[in-house]
Amino acid sequence: MKTTILSASLLLLLSSCTPTKTTNNLNAIDIAGSFEHLTELKVSQLGKNIRYVPLETTDSSLIGNSYNIKLLKDKILVATEGSCLAFDKQTGKYLGTIGHKGGDPEGYSEVVYYIHPQTGILYFHRQPNKLVKYNQDGEFLGETIQPKSLLQGFCAAFADSLIIGHYGGGIGTSPFESKLIYSNEEGKATDSISNFSRNIPTITPNDIASISVFKGGSGKEAFGMLGYNGLIYITYKDNKKGIFPLNHPTIWNSGDALHFKEALKDTIYTINGNTMQPYLTFNTGKWTFPADKIGETEGTQEYITISYVMETPQSILFQCIQGIYSRSVTFTGIYNKATGTTYMNKDEAGFTDDLSRFMPFFPETSSQQGEYASVLEIGDIQEWLDEHPETVKEGKLNFLKKINEDSNPVCVIVEP
């Protein structure tokens, strides 16, 4: 596990393959019951078809070691350290870049962006308080002003012409600054929702013994998707721990609805105007993390924290961590909205590919069309092939004949 220093097993028996279903609360996802009946996760639980899309390799489209992906209707977007690369969703052909990182008027400060569900416009972060806009063909469309600075807790979604920003506070700020603010593109706030954070003391540099930053592959190994997107991990002088997610999707558009879940909390809300109603709650039962134990390592190894959520029209894919401040064992689960059933397993196993009989699938993103997707690096593919020489490179796996050690990664898309 690699970390950047900035300053000074529980065994579970697979006793049943039967999914659990909440019977006393239809708005609750039964983590507690599923946790006692871990079972194999399969790609067919996510969708009916799986596709492999090799991303074209050119001098202009090389993908480095740190990236994340999103799916548009006809494109795959890959955000790297310096730009946002666009590829054809069917063929993997490189189509060009969308914007660029830089200090000029059209540049963004980091390759973090949000997609308007109706217009398809991409809004990129530009510090300290702007979002720069591009269409999906890479044409610059101007900028918007935000009513507050974009600290590490910021995330945004859309309601028609309004931008709903979640200002989650940051290191050195009071948690009571965490709020949702509705604003227009000129930065004028039209409404807000606040007072939904725990009363946690403000952090000062004098409280901190060390800080580590997790992101990308090393972050995913340590904390699953929570670490993949990035997080700041703090050890305080009293030996308590603090976790501050970076670029964490706390608010998102779900069809015509707007959903919100604070990082590391257990409830998804539906936002209506300036009110929030519970949509789904993760029931962790006896493994619920006591509020007065947050940050402690001793005696908290068994408690479960809901760490990440992806939503499609058909399902909720989630991750939870047992002992987040100590051993950090990550579990993945899938909740079927239509049946109310939940399946869970350890994250390290992934989803067994029962559709094409290839490598395990580890979802990294989802789309409003109901797709899940991830990226396979060439080195990992070759290692798997060395261990499974019987793999038939035909049909869906025909792409294996065309890649080599210098190729870009392969995007895996599971379709509903």
Lookup: tokens for 21: 């279903």
What's the burial of 177, exposed, middle or buried (CB within 10 Å: 0-12/13-18/19+)?
Answer: middle
In a domain, 306, yes or no: yes
What's the burial of 97, exposed, middle or buried (CB within 10 Å: 0-12/13-18/19+)?
Answer: middle
* Mean pLDDT estimate for the chain: 89
Number of domains in the chain: 1
pLDDT at 5: 31
In a domain, 156, yes or no: yes
In a domain, 14, yes or no: no
In a domain, 300, yes or no: yes
Phi then psi for residue 129, to 5 deg, are -150, 40
Q: What is the pLDDT of residues 37-85, one digit of tens each?
A: 999 999 999 999 999 999 999 999 999 888 999 999 999 999 998 899 9
In a domain, 152, yes or no: yes
- Taking the model in full, what pTM does it have? 0.90
Residue 171's domain comprises 4-8+19-415
Q: Which residue has the higher pLDDT, 190 or 9?
A: 190
Per-residue confidence at 168, pLDDT binned at 50, 70, 90?
confident
Q: Which residue has the higher pLDDT, 65 or 253?
A: 253
In a domain, 13, yes or no: no
The CATH number linked to 187 is 2.130.10
pLDDT, average across residues 323-338: 96
Per-residue confidence at 171, pLDDT binned at 50, 70, 90?
low
Classify 185 in phi/psi space as left (phi over 0), alpha (psi -120 to 50) or beta: alpha
pLDDT at 277: 94
In a domain, 226, yes or no: yes
Angle at 311 between CA 300 and CA 54, to 5 degrees: 105
In a domain, 142, yes or no: yes
